[in-house]
Structure 1
C-alpha cells in the first residue's frame, strides 16, 4: 500500500489519500473506525498513520461519517478533526452528516450545539436537524426550529415540510399543521407526493379525517403509506366502517397491505366487533405471508377477543412461534373482557412460567379479573406479586387494587389503601364512593362525596353515577334527589346512566309514578337500562300494568335480550299470570333465548368452586345436597318458611320447596359450612340477583351457626350476622 500515499503538507496534516479505489477506502474506513485500541506501540502508530492519512480528504470524511453512524466515539473524533481542520464550517454537507449521525444516536443536544455554531446553514442543514427532532419525537423542538428557519428567510422545500408535518402529527398540533399547509400551497409544493402523504398523515393523526380525505382524494399518485395513513386516521377517529371501506378500495387498486396496514385494519374490525370481517382479515394475513409477524399476530389476538370469540383468539395465540408481553396482555385482556375471568388468571400463571415478565398493564388486567370473580385470596396473592416484583404503582393500578378489595368483600382493606394513598385523583374518590355504595353504606358514600369536594376535587359524571347508585341501594331517596339536581350546579349534564340510577332509586322506594314522569322528561330517548330499572321496580312492587308498559319498550329496544323476558315473566308469575308466563317462555324458545344459569362461587383453599342451581351432573355432589337439605330442615325449627313465590313454575308447593332447597347460593353456603372451621367467615359470589328465599335462609344460618356470611350478587353486597342483613331487607 506504500505507493498510494503521498506526502503533502496541508493544514498540519502529514498525509492525504489520492487515487485510492473505493473498495480500498472502504477497508480503510473500517480500520479507522472499528479497529480496537491496542497497548502495543506499533499498533497505535499504525492506527494514527491510517487516521492522519484519512482525515485530510473531505470526500473521505463523508465516507467515514457514513461508516460511523452507530459509533459515538468515532463520530466525536471525526467531529473534533473536522472542527480542528476548519472543514466543519465551510462544508454544509459534512456538518449535516455529523448532525444527522448525532440525531440518529439520540445526541440531539450535541446536534443542536453544532448547528448553532455554524456560520453557514443552508436548507439541507436545517432540514437535517428538523428531521432529527421529528424522528426522535421532540415535536416542539422541531416546530420551533421550523419557525426559526421560516423567520430566517431560509427557503423550505419538499424535504422540510414532511418532517415539520410529522412533528405536528406526533404532537397533535392541528393549528400549526394548517399553518404549514398554507405555506406549502404558497411555495408550490402542494402536489409533491411526499408532502401530500405528510399532509394526509398529519390531518389524520390530529383527528381531522375530513381534511385528510380531501387531500387524499386530490393526490395524483398514492402510495401504500398514503393509503395506510388514511385507513389509520379513520380507525383512530373511531370511524371503523370508513377505515374498512378504505382498506377494500386500496386492495381493489392493486396495493398489497403491509404489516402496519393489517394491524390498523384489524383494530378497526375489533371496534366493529364484526367476527365475519375478522375472519376475512385473518385470511388476508395468511395470503400475504404475515402469519409469522409478531405485531400482526398480536393484533389478531386482540381483534378476535374484542369480537367476542376468545376461542379463535386463543388458537392464534397458541400457534404463535414467538410471544412478547403484548401477546400475553392481549390474550389476558380478551379473557377478562369476555367474562372468562378464571381463564385469565390461569393464563397469568402460565405467563409467569414462560419467562415473559408481567408489567403494570398485565397486573391491571388480572386485578380486574379478580375483582370480577370475587376471589380475595387470589387478589391478595397478586397484590403481593406486584410488590415483590417491583412493578410500578401508578394511580390507575392503585385505584384498581382498591376496587378489587372492595369487590372481593374486604371493604376495610379497600378503605385503608385509599386513606394511605399519597396521591389521589378523581377516579380514586369515585372508586371508594362506589365501594361504600355497593356494600350498602350510602350515608358514608355521601359523606365521602362532600369530603372529596372539600379536598379540592371536582366531581365528574362517574362520581354522580356512583353516588346515585349508593343512594339507591341505601334507600336515601331525598339525598338522591338532592344530588341529582346538584349535578347541573356543578356543570355536569345528566346522562342516560344518571336517569337510570334515579329511576332505579325511585322505583325501589315505591315512587313508581315519579319514576315514570322522570322518564317522560328525559332530554334524550331512554335506553334499555332505564326501562329495565323501571321493570325491576315493578317486579318488587308487583305493578303489572306499568311493568307491561316498561317491558314493551324493552322488547322493542332489545328483542333478543333473554334477561328482560325473564324479568317480565317474574312479574307475571308474582301475579299468578301463568298463561302469560308460558307465552313469554314460548317466545324465548322460538328466538333461541335461554335464561342465564344461576351460578354461585365460593373460594376455599386457594381454589374457586362454582355451583349451579339443581345441578346433579357431578356424582360427588351427593353429600352437598344432603347438607343443603339438612340446613333447611334445621332452620324450619327456628321459624323458617320457604318463600314459594321465588319459584317461577306452575307446580305443586312441595315441588317448589324442593327446587328452592337447591338454589346455587344454598349449595355454595352448604359447601362453606362443610369445609371451614366453626366461626370462620364465609363469602359467596352469585352472578344473579339473590332471591328472597335464599336471603331469608342466609339470615337464619348466620344466626344459628354464629357465622359472618357475605353474599355478593349482581347488584350489591349483603353482610349477614346474627340473623340480620346489612341491607335491612331493602335491595
Structure 2
C-alpha cells in the first residue's frame, strides 16, 4: 500500500522542507508539470548529467519521484545517491519507498545494503529500523517476511544480535514472524560468533512462536549442543525430528559424529559411524573425515589410516580434508616419510595438494633438521606448478635465516614480490631476524623501513627482534631509541622487549651494562631476573648467578624451573655439587618436583665422585615422588658399581668407603624387570663390566648371550668389557676366541680396546696371539 500525502505530512519527523540553491530560478520550478515515468526518468537523467543537482525539492516530491521510478531501479538509486551527495536527508518514508521497490524487484543484496545504512546511521539518518517496519506495516505479512529476511542478514553482519531478537518480538506483536530461513541464518551466525547459548535460546523462541523447524534448523541445534558438550541433549534432537516427521540428513548424522570427536570421544564416534554404516544410513565423506581428524588429534594415526582404507572399501571417495588430517598428524609426530607417502597416494588419485599440506610438510622437514631436503622439496613443488603461498615461502625463509643463509632467504623473499605476492608482517619479521642474527643491522633496518613504507605496521615481535639485534652488537642506545619510537607508534614495550636487550648485552659478555639497564627499569618483573640468571650462566659468572638466585629464593621468588635446571647443570659440570644440591633443594622446597633428566644428571655427578650415599638418596627420593627411572638411570648405577674405587675417598663425609657398603646390583636389575624397563646395549655392557669386576664371569656370559638373544648388536665397548673379564680370570683361550670374533664381524676397534688388550697381554703369562 502506498503512503498518502496526508499521512506523509502528519509524521512529525518528516515535515521539514529542504531547499537547494544552484543555477535554477523559481521560474524554472513553476514550469514543472505532471509527467509520465518514462519522461521523468529522462528528465532526471538529463538533470544529473547537465546540472548535477536539483532545485528546490521536498520529501513529498522525493517519495512521488521514487514511486514513478519503481520500474527503473538503477535510475531511482542514482537519484537517491545524488540526493545524498547533495546532503538531502532522506526520511523514513523515502526509505520505505526504496524498500518497496527493491523488495518487489527481488534486489536482496541492495536491500541488505540499505538496511546497513540505517543500522550504521549513515547519511544523517535519524530513525530506527522499527520505525521503517511501522511505515511498511500495511504491506502485508508476505512482504514483511521478505523484508525482515534481509534485515536479519544486515544486523548479523555487524554483530547486533540483541537488536535482532528485540525486533523479532516487535514484529511478532504485529501478527507475523521471521521466516525459518532467516532464523536459521541467525542461529548459524550466532554459532559462528561463539554465542552458542544465544543460538539455543533463539531455537527455544522459535518453538514458542510456533515456527516449524526444518532439517537445517535441527542440524544447527545439534551442532550448538555438541559445542557446549551437551551430547545427550543432541541425541534428543533426533527424537524431536522423528516427532516432527523430519528425516535426518547425512549432514545431521555427520554433525553429531563431529560433535563426539570434538569432545574427545572419537572412539564412540567411530563406533557410531560403523553402526550407522551397517544400518545402510547414507553417510557422506565428511562423516568419515571428522573421525579421521579426531583420531589424528588424539595421535591414533594407525586407526585413522585404517578408517581411510575402510572408507574407500565402502565406496566413499576420500576428499582432500581426510588426507590433510592424516598428513598433519604424521608431520606433528615427525614421521615425514609417512606424510610424503600419503601425499603421493593422494595425488595419484587425482586429489590436488594445497598450500596447507605443502606448508605442513615443509615445516616438518625443517623441524626435524632436514632443511636441505625442505629446500629440495620446495623446488620440486614449484617445478610441478603448484601454487605456493606466503606461508610456504615463509617456512623456507625462516629456516634459511636460522641456518645463517640470509642471502638465499632474501632471494626467496624477492621471488615472492616478483610473483606479485605481497609479503606480510611475518615474512618481513623473519627476514629482519635473519639479518640481525648475522649482524647485518643496516640491512635489517632498511627492511624495517621498507616494511613501514609498504603499509605493513610492525608488531611487537618485529620490534623485539630488531631491539635484540641492536643490543647484541653493542648499539644499546639505538635499541633504547627504538623503544621510544615504538611508544610513538602506539606499541608498548613488553617484558620480552626488555629481555631482548638484556640477552643481547649478555651474549656479547657485556654483563655490567645489562645490570645497569635492569636497574634502570621502572617496572621490573620476574622474567627480567630469570633472563639475568641465565645470562650470568652463559657469561660464566656463576657466583653472581648463584647469589642472585639465592637472594630471590629467600624472598620466595623462584626464577623458573628451567632456569634452575640450567644453574644445576652449570654447577654440576664444574664439580660444585654443594651449590647444585642447594638449588635442587630450593626447587623441592618450592613444591616443584625436578624432572627425570635432572635427577639422573645429579645421580650421575655424585656417582662420578664416588658419593654413592648421595646418589642412592636421590634415587630413592625420585622413586618416592613418583618419577619412574629409565634405562639411563639404571645404566649409570650399573656403571658406577663396575668402576667404584674403594681406595678413592669421597669429598663427602657420608660417602661410601668400602665395597661391602655398595648396594647389591641385582636389586636394580630386579626393579627394572618389575617396571618392564628393557635394557639397551649400553646398560647390558655396564652390567657385564660389573660382573667381570667381581669375577662373576658366568653371569657376564649369560648377559652377553641375552644381548644376542634379543637381537641387539654388541658394540666394541661390550666386547672390551668381556675381554677384560677373560683376562682377569686367566681364561686366555676364550679371550683369543673373542678377539677372532671381533675381527670376523669387522667391528671397528677403538683406543680403549687396544689399551685393554695390551694390559691383558702383559698380565697373562702365556698368550697364543701375536700382537
TM-score (norm 1): 0.54
User: Hey, what's the Cα distance between the residues in 2 that align with 1:360 and 1:536?
Assistant: 53
1:98 counterpart = 2:154: yes
1:160 counterpart = 2:223: no
Aligned residue number for residue 354 of structure 2: 258
Report deviation, 1:297: 1.9
Aligned residue number for residue 247 of structure 1: 343
Kindly indicate whether the alpha-carbon contact (under 8 Å) linking 2:41 and 2:75 is maintained by their aligned counterparts in 1: no
User: Hey, what's the Cα distance between the residues in 2 that align with 1:264 and 1:31?
Assistant: 52
User: Hey, what's the Cα distance between the residues in 2 that align with 1:188 and 1:157?
Assistant: 22
Kindly indicate whether the alpha-carbon contact (under 8 Å) linking 2:382 and 2:388 is maintained by their aligned counterparts in 1: no
TM-score (norm 2): 0.52
Aligned residue number for residue 478 of structure 1: 613
Aligned residue number for residue 87 of structure 2: 43
Report deviation, 1:260: 0.9
User: Hey, what's the Cα distance between the residues in 1 that align with 2:228 and 2:436?
Assistant: 39
User: Which structure ranks higher in relative contact order (CA pairs < 8 Å, sequence separation ≥ 6)?
Assistant: 1
Write out aligned runs for 1:115-154 (5 A). Answer: 115=165, 118-119=168-169, 124=181, 128=185, 131-132=188-189, 138=194, 141-142=195-196, 145=199, 149=203, 154=213
Structure 2: which 5+ residue stretches go unaligned?
Answer: 1-36, 45-56, 137-143, 170-176, 208-212, 230-257, 417-422, 449-457, 473-495, 646-658, 729-735, 758-771
Write out aligned runs for 1:310-709 (5 A). Answer: 310=403, 315=408, 318-321=411-414, 345-346=437-438, 352-353=444-445, 354-355=447-448, 358=462, 376-377=507-508, 380=511, 402-415=533-546, 418=549, 420=552, 426-465=561-600, 467-469=602-604, 471-472=606-607, 476-500=611-635, 502=637, 509-510=644-645, 518=668, 521-522=671-672, 523-527=676-680
RMSD after superposition: 7.0
Q: Which has the higher strand share?
A: 1
Corresponding residue SS for 1:440: coil
Kindly indicate whether the alpha-carbon contact (under 8 Å) linking 2:152 and 2:164 is maintained by their aligned counterparts in 1: no
1:191 counterpart = 2:283: yes
Corresponding residue SS for 2:591: coil
User: Hey, what's the Cα distance between the residues in 2 that align with 1:152 and 1:413?
Assistant: 70
Kindly indicate whether the alpha-carbon contact (under 8 Å) linking 1:205 and 1:233 is maintained by their aligned counterparts in 2: yes
Kindly indicate whether the alpha-carbon contact (under 8 Å) linking 1:100 and 1:111 is maintained by their aligned counterparts in 2: yes
After superposition, the C-alpha distances for 1:401-456 in whole angstroms (9 at most, x for unaligned) are: 64453243122443466454967554454444444433433233333334333333
Report deviation, 1:195: 5.8
Corresponding residue SS for 1:457: coil
Aligned residue number for residue 70 of structure 2: 19
Kindly indicate whether the alpha-carbon contact (under 8 Å) linking 2:66 and 2:76 is maintained by their aligned counterparts in 1: no
After superposition, the C-alpha distances for 1:594-619 in whole angstroms (9 at most, x for unaligned) are: 99xxxxxxxxxxxxxxxxxxxxxxxx
Could you say if the C-alpha distance between residues 320 and 305 of structure 1 is closer, same or farther in structure 2, counting changes exceeding 3 Å?
A: closer
User: Hey, what's the Cα distance between the residues in 2 that align with 1:148 and 1:212?
Assistant: 40
Could you say if the C-alpha distance between residues 18 and 229 of structure 1 is closer, same or farther in structure 2, counting changes exceeding 3 Å?
A: farther
1:114 counterpart = 2:207: no
Aligned residue number for residue 63 of structure 1: 110
Aligned residue number for residue 297 of structure 1: 393
Kindly indicate whether the alpha-carbon contact (under 8 Å) linking 2:502 and 2:517 is maintained by their aligned counterparts in 1: no
Kindly indicate whether the alpha-carbon contact (under 8 Å) linking 1:472 and 1:508 is maintained by their aligned counterparts in 2: no
Kindly indicate whether the alpha-carbon contact (under 8 Å) linking 2:397 and 2:412 is maintained by their aligned counterparts in 1: no
Kindly indicate whether the alpha-carbon contact (under 8 Å) linking 2:707 and 2:714 is maintained by their aligned counterparts in 1: no
Q: Which moved more, 1:281-290 or 1:481-490?
A: 281-290
Could you say if the C-alpha distance between residues 149 and 286 of structure 1 is closer, same or farther in structure 2, counting changes exceeding 3 Å?
A: same
Kindly indicate whether the alpha-carbon contact (under 8 Å) linking 1:504 and 1:534 is maintained by their aligned counterparts in 2: yes
Could you say if the C-alpha distance between residues 454 and 147 of structure 1 is closer, same or farther in structure 2, counting changes exceeding 3 Å?
A: farther
After superposition, the C-alpha distances for 1:673-713 in whole angstroms (9 at most, x for unaligned) are: xxxxxxxxxxxxxxxxxxxxxxxxxxxxxxxxxxxxxxxxx
After superposition, the C-alpha distances for 1:366-414 in whole angstroms (9 at most, x for unaligned) are: 9999999998535859979998999x99988975664453243122443
Could you say if the C-alpha distance between residues 376 and 243 of structure 1 is closer, same or farther in structure 2, counting changes exceeding 3 Å?
A: closer
Write out aligned runs for 1:209-248 (5 A). Answer: 209=301, 210=303, 214=307, 217=312, 220-236=316-332, 240-248=336-344
User: Hey, what's the Cα distance between the residues in 1 that align with 2:541 and 2:152?
Assistant: 63
User: Hey, what's the Cα distance between the residues in 2 that align with 1:232 and 1:521?
Assistant: 39
Could you say if the C-alpha distance between residues 273 and 430 of structure 1 is closer, same or farther in structure 2, counting changes exceeding 3 Å?
A: closer
Corresponding residue SS for 1:83: helix
Structure (1 or 2) with the larger CA radius of gyration: 2
Corresponding residue SS for 1:43: coil
Kindly indicate whether the alpha-carbon contact (under 8 Å) linking 2:638 and 2:686 is maintained by their aligned counterparts in 1: yes
Report deviation, 1:296: 0.7
After superposition, the C-alpha distances for 1:261-303 in whole angstroms (9 at most, x for unaligned) are: 2112334445666679746632442134457632112334577
Report deviation, 1:214: 2.7
Could you say if the C-alpha distance between residues 222 and 409 of structure 1 is closer, same or farther in structure 2, counting changes exceeding 3 Å?
A: same
1:174 counterpart = 2:270: no
Kindly indicate whether the alpha-carbon contact (under 8 Å) linking 2:406 and 2:431 is maintained by their aligned counterparts in 1: yes
